[in-house]
């Protein structure tokens, strides 16, 4: 008996099912398009008008990132509509700290298999965040790879391009002794430290994602999946302020690894742990781990997702501006003479 001829669908690739999902994905993306997106001009690549006429020396700033093991929490919780926003906001923050305004975003989504609504959920997260920040979602790639990913699993990558006029690139080169460090609140872990968080809360402590914890308003899942916030809107009006010497996105490595990115080699950042109380999710992990505070500070953002390095004579004006933007900024430390590292003082709450 002759074998049945094989088709691509037999090999586990159902192009048509993904095609259906991609139609609603296309509609969501189209809602983010500005008049700088040139649509209807072919379909292999995405077109964006590079009219930077008002800039003396336009510089493109780009960044790529993933969501990391926060995806495992989304997988366990079966929630797909938040991780896309995490990624958009993370990428925007990474170019914002160079002084750039974001222009457009592209996504890569790969999964073992897309269950009904899963791809639409993921892309709705991308589209919502892009729309909120005025960024065009102009392209993406979707792949079903049943033999590469374990059942139900998926991974995401995001890519953002923005622009800044060269004289206004924020490099940290003006950071100086005496500058103050102003923190802006995070919404939770953002996208870092999830391997340790799951090890403590889910594996070692055996907590369920849907149970509550002291001090947490929602469930453990709500706390762990809180969307990584975007700092574009509160900071946009400060990007060309001469008193703003540097911006630091507190991502993997916490204060300890991220602040040195803007510190001249003759300065240290001195963080005063007594100036704020980390949100309950961090305190619970620190206590339950247990995890030393130094290890917490090189793993998590501890409730501070963005740090502004500001000239002391601009401090009052910057704080006032941030408050008009609805922010609750607080001074977390200062720049002192040193050797390009972070030091800590004060007793954090325990």
Is 78 a binder of a copy of itself (CB under 8 A)? no
Kind of pairing between the strands at 154-165 and 58-66: antiparallel
Out of 83, 85, 100, 308, name the contact with a copy of itself by CB under 8 A. Answer: 100
Is 195 a binder of a copy of itself (CB under 8 A)? yes
d(CA 17, CA 321): 49
Out of 22, 24, 30, 62, name the contact with a copy of itself by CB under 8 A. Answer: 62
Closer by beta carbon to a copy of itself, 163 or else 182 = 163
Out of 30, 59, 280, 331, name the contact with a copy of itself by CB under 8 A. Answer: 59
Backbone phi and psi for residue 104, each to the nearest 5 degrees, phi listed first: -145, 165
Write down how long the chain is.
350
DSSP secondary structure string, 182-228? EEEE-SSSTTS-HHHHHIIIIIIS---TTSB-TT-SSBHHHHHHPPP
Segment 122 to 141, residues that bind a copy of itself, using CB under 8 A: 138-141
Out of 113, 174, 298, 334, name the contact with a copy of itself by CB under 8 A. Answer: 298
Stretch that binds a copy of itself, among 115-123, 164-172, 221-229, 323-331 (CB under 8 A): 164-172
Is 334 a binder of a copy of itself (CB under 8 A)? no
Closer by beta carbon to a copy of itself, 149 or else 330 = 149
Report the run of H or E that residue 108 belongs to, with start and end: strand 101-111
d(CA 305, CA 255): 9
The residue among 295, 279, 129 whose CA lies nearest residue 217 is: 279
> What are 32's strand-pairing partners?
none
Out of 20, 31, 50, 115, name the contact with a copy of itself by CB under 8 A. Answer: 50
181, 345 contact by CB (below 8 A): no
Is 57 a binder of a copy of itself (CB under 8 A)? yes
Number of residues this chain uses to bind a copy of itself (CB under 8 A)? 89
Stretch that binds a copy of itself, among 25-33, 118-126, 169-177, 315-323 (CB under 8 A): 169-177
d(CA 303, CA 300): 8
Tokens encoding 33: 């398009």
Closer by beta carbon to a copy of itself, 47 or else 319 = 47
156, 83 contact by CB (below 8 A): yes
Is 64 a binder of a copy of itself (CB under 8 A)? yes
Tokens encoding 293: 């505070």
Closer by beta carbon to a copy of itself, 45 or else 237 = 45
Stretch that binds a copy of itself, among 51-59, 175-183, 212-220, 226-234 (CB under 8 A): 51-59
Stretch that binds a copy of itself, among 23-31, 124-132, 222-230, 295-303 (CB under 8 A): 295-303
Q: How far is the CB of 320 from a copy of itself (least distance, A)?
A: 26
């Amino acid at each position: 008996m002759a074998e049945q001829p094989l088709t691509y669908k037999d090999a586990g690739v159902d192009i048509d099912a993904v095609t259906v999902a991609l139609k609603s994905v296309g509609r969501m993306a189209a809602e983010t398009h500005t008049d700088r997106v040139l649509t209807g001009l072919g379909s292999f690549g995405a077109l964006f008008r590079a009219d930077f006429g008002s800039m003396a020396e336009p510089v493109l700033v780009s960044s790529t990132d993933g969501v990391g093991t926060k995806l495992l929490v989304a997988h366990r919780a079966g929630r797909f509509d938040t991780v896309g926003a995490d990624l958009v906001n993370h990428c925007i923050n990474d170019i914002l700290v160079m002084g750039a305004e974001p222009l457009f975003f592209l996504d890569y989504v790969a999964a073992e298999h897309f269950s009904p609504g899963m791809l639409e959920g993921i892309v709705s997260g991308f589209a919502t965040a892009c729309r909120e920040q005025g960024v065009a979602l102009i392209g993406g790639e979707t792949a079903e790879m049943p033999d590469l990913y374990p059942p139900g699993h998926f991974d995401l990558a995001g890519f953002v391009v923005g622009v800044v006029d060269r004289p206004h690139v924020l490099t940290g080169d003006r950071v100086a002794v005496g500058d103050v460090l102003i923190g802006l609140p995070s919404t939770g872990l953002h996208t870092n430290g999830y391997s340790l968080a799951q090890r403590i809360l889910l594996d070692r402590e055996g907590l369920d994602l849907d149970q509550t914890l002291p001090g947490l308003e929602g469930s453990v899942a709500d706390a762990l999946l809180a969307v990584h916030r975007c700092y574009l809107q509160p900071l946009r009006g400060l990007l060309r302020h001469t008193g703003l010497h540097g911006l630091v996105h507190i991502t993997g490595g916490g204060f300890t690894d991220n602040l040195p990115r803007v510190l001249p080699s003759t300065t240290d950042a001195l963080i005063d742990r007594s100036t704020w109380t980390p949100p309950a999710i961090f305190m619970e992990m620190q206590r339950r781990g247990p995890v030393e505070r130094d290890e917490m500070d090189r793993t998590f953002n501890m409730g501070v997702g963005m740090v502004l390095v500001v000239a002391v004579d601009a401090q009052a004006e910057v704080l006032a501006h941030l408050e008009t933007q609805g922010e609750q900024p607080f001074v977390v430390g200062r720049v002192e003479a040193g050797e390009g590292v972070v030091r800590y003082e004060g007793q954090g709450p325990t």
